[in-house]
Amino acid sequence: MKTFTLEEITALTGGMLTKVQDVKITQIAPPLLSDENTLALALGEEEIANLAKSKAKAALVPLGVQIDGLTTIEVERPRLAMMKLLNLFYTAPEVNKGVHPTAVVHETAKLGENVQIGPNVVISHDAVIGDNTKILANCYIGGGAVIGKNCFFHPGVNIGDRVKVGNDVILHHGVSLGADGFSFVTENPDNIEQARKEGEIKEALTKQVIFKIPSIGSVVIGNNVEIGANTAIDRGTIENTIIGDDTKIDDLVMIGHNCRIGKGCFIVSQVGIAGSCVIGDRVTIAGQAGLADHIEIGSDTIITAKAGVTKSFPEKSIVVGIPAMPRKDFIKQLKTLKDAQEIFAKFRKYEPLLKEFEDNINHDHNS
């Protein structure tokens, strides 16, 4: 069991210790789940209030919070401090040393120093695996793929041919990099082409030949990227699909062929990005947002949850709604709707007077 002193934890978090009694810390937890050897994490108002009902003798709290009778470590950025503590107590998944006997490594593949390969992993011809990279059970590395140093692939990751992955990349369970793009063409103009050109579907097409467009590009993942479970990033049609350095992608995200995602982006669960989109640096795309194909999103933009983005937006935009629009326009629309409700209520109030007025006019006219 890992055990730490209050002084060690204070030094690690850069906090300020107010010591009421000495405690050996063996774990961290929310206040209501803490015992006497737990450092209670009271990061918000509700958790701070719960300290009164906690068995903990020590707590991590925001700067300026002091609790009578309780040892506290005050920190300026509680969530940052929590991250440091979680790394302190974190135990990485176990990986066997070297190459597991059930792994299949092609004779032309090149493995760097201290590479660890788990059970049933398949590494295809001419693949290159960098130093200290760990690949857990049931992963597949395609032919000619290049994997950087210090990467960690959880079970079930699938890497297509010629995909390039940078250094310090984490891929979670079931990630797919380098599947063919969803790209097809019809022999004659189809309904979608009609709708885009004419704004309507004039002729119903009862029979249409659909041809698959092969994807001969690949996927390039930058350094220090993390990609969540069951996320799929398709290879480019001719050029590569690119994910920039330091970008973090959540579970169940779909990124289409030819997309270029910038550096330091956050892409949250269930986001769908259609093909050939260009996303700038430090863009946040919240959960279940969808982006149409061939649009550009400027750097430092925030796309809020469930937004339906059908057009490009410049840098530093805050994008809201379906169809998506700048936040200020969205708020203006909400205000207009509220004003309309008030106007309608007044109309209903005075509607009988209006009808009486109209009846009088009609009576005078007929007289």
Q: Please give the positions annotated as active site.
A: 257
Which of 74, 69, 153, 140 has its CA nearest to residue 109?
A: 140
| Residues ≥6 apart with Cβ < 8 Å to 234 | 178, 179, 180, 181, 182, 215, 219, 241, 255, 256, 257, 275
Give the tokens for residue 120: 């049933």
The closest of 81, 92, 133 to 111, measured between CA atoms, is 133
Cα–Cα distance for residue pair 322/334, rounded to 1 Å: 13
* CA-to-CA dists, residue 199 to 159, 191, 193, 207, 344, angstroms: 40, 10, 9, 21, 33
- The answer to whether the beta carbons of residues 181 and 162 sit under 8 Å apart is no
Half-sphere exposure of 259 (CA within 13 A, CB side): 28
Cα distance between residue 126 and residue 148, in whole Å: 14
CA angle 204, 206, 207 (to 5 degrees): 130
Residue with tokens 């176990």: 94
Cβ proximity of 133 and 170 under 8 Å: no
